[in-house]
Amino acid sequence: MLERVKAGRYSQVEVNRGLPATSLVRYFTRVGREWEVAERLRERVTVRHLNLAAPYVGLGTFDMIWLRNVLIYFDAETKQDILRRMLPMLQLDGFLLLGSSETTLDLPADLSAAWRRDPVGRVQVHRRASAPPLDLSSTTSPSSPSSPLASTGA
């Protein structure tokens, strides 16, 4: 799966799940039956294998962390530990994206208070509770560092 993400190629069904047509045309190129993410975006993404139940050593902080469809496989205690350890890894104004079947609603009060859910289009993103409010009225592009959709690891 990591090699597939590094390649940045997605099927028509995958890009149809929430990606606006304007973004598809702007940031993807059709390659055979798949859509490939533009090189200028792929070169800004770091993909690594990580055992979420083990310590995270030397990773730094990130603008965006995807934990999509993975927390559902852990018991509640491990899930809470993972989310607690993700907090310092996320830039103050960064985004944590979970899968649609995952939630932060069942967390203990202290951990629940540390995360805030914000809607971005049809997606709920999770941010640090101390993160500045989102300003989605700007028209910056996802490749712009000031965009709420910019994604680079530090």
Could you tell me the domains of the chain?
1-45 (no CATH), 50-154 (3.40.50.150)
Give the amino acid at 36.
Answer: E
Rg of the chain, C-alpha, whole Å:
16
* Torsion sign across C-alpha atoms 122, 120, 86, 47: positive
What is the rounded CA–CA span in Å between residue 150 and residue 144?
6
Percent residues over pLDDT 90 in the chain: 42
pLDDT value of residue 82: 93
pLDDT tens-digit map of 72-105: 999 999 999 999 999 999 999 999 998 878 877 7
Q: What is the predicted pLDDT for the residue at 5?
A: 86
pLDDT at 1: 79
Which tens digits make up the pLDDT trace of 109-141? 999 899 988 888 777 889 999 998 887 665 444
**Which whole number is the average pLDDT over 39-48?**
89
Is pLDDT at 145 greater than 80 in this prediction?
no
146, pLDDT greater than 90: no
Taking CA 107 as the corner, what is the angle to CA 109 and CA 77, rounded to the nearest 5 degrees? 120
The reported pLDDT for the residue numbered 139 is 45
Under a CB-based contact definition with an 8 Å cutoff, are residues 63 and 91 in contact? yes
pLDDT over 50 at 10, yes or no: yes
Its pTM surpasses 0.85: no
